[in-house]
Amino acid sequence: MKRIILAIILAVFTLNAKAGDRLSVNTKIVSLNGTVSEILVGLGLENNIIGTDVTSNYPESLKSKPKIGHYRNISAEGIIALQPDVVTGLSTEIKPELAAQLKSAGIKLVMFTQDFSPDGTRKLIKDMSAAFGGQQQAAVLIKKLDTDLAAANKLNKTATKPKVLFIYARGAGTMMVSGDNTPLNKIIQLAGGQNAVTGFNDYKPLTSEALVAANPDAILLFSSGMESLGGATGLLNVQGINQTNAGKNKKFITMEGELLTGFGPRLGQAIAELSQKLK
């Protein structure tokens, strides 16, 4: 029932956004998603942003904005304390309870859907400009995105598709691998690789048996994840790593997390960087 209520709430606000609502110059915005925050800045609305989630770190200037936590554990109280006019983010990342609390406080929700693909990125930029204004800025963002994607596409035209295993790590005690229907799976494919593990959705715990069976050619981690393991030496100490082609060749790739998984305006740059590192 809560899911149904949330869907109704979000549908209403989505319709309002598409109907052409525009913000005043003083509208105060809280963003709950890093990609959404990045696009808001690209649309010329950085000065309207009064708070963000912890993943909103690009551009660098967003790091100075008040942080309200990660979308998984954001409280209504922290948002309400900032007194925003609008809270925005992705519809899949806001809990029904939080949406109801914000609505009760008289705060408008403008939420968006995101498809992890180039077309999905273009649509998100267009949808956000329809809701917040900035059509000219949106056109500039999309033109730059298309240029970057075209350049990235030239880099990954190879006969072989290396097997890439993404490991989400927060120390050796918390290690997960990404399967189908994840942004990691999509970005690996766009960069000319193939996911080393398939047959399941989302993420699942890393096991040495599955690791050896997958035998990836390259292992991909967030830069912060590699740091949590103590670098390449720590990764090699994980059971099974040194039995894989990636471990034997020390083919370990790190990238900044928001860039790798955001599927925002820098998508072409992310694909190009991963393509180069896979070679």
248 by Cβ neighbours in 10 Å (0-12 / 13-18 / 19+) ranks as: exposed
Distance from C-alpha of 6 to C-alpha of 111, rounded to nearest angstrom: 11
Structure tokens at 54: 């912890």
| Per-residue pLDDT at 2 | 43
Task: List the pLDDT tens digit at each of the 279 positions of the chain.
Answer: 444 444 444 444 443 344 345 566 789 999 999 999 999 999 999 999 999 999 999 999 999 999 999 988 999 999 999 999 999 999 999 999 999 999 999 999 999 999 999 999 999 999 999 999 999 999 999 999 999 999 999 887 767 899 999 999 999 889 999 999 999 999 999 999 999 999 999 999 999 999 999 999 999 999 999 999 999 999 999 999 999 999 999 999 999 999 999 999 999 999 999 999 999
State how far the alpha carbon of 173 is from the alpha carbons of 137, 231, 254, in Å. Answer: 44, 15, 19
Distance from C-alpha of 208 to C-alpha of 69, rounded to nearest angstrom: 33
| Per-residue pLDDT at 175 | 95
CATH class entry, domain 163-278: alpha beta
| Per-residue pLDDT at 128 | 97
Q: 156-183: buried (b, 16+ CB within 10 Å) or exposed (e) per residue?
A: beeeebbbbbbbbbeeeeebbbbbeebb
- Of 3.40.640.10, 3.30.420.10, 3.40.50.1980, 3.90.550.10, which CATH number belongs to 2-150? 3.40.50.1980
Start-end of CATH 3.40.50.1980 domains in the chain: 2-150, 163-278
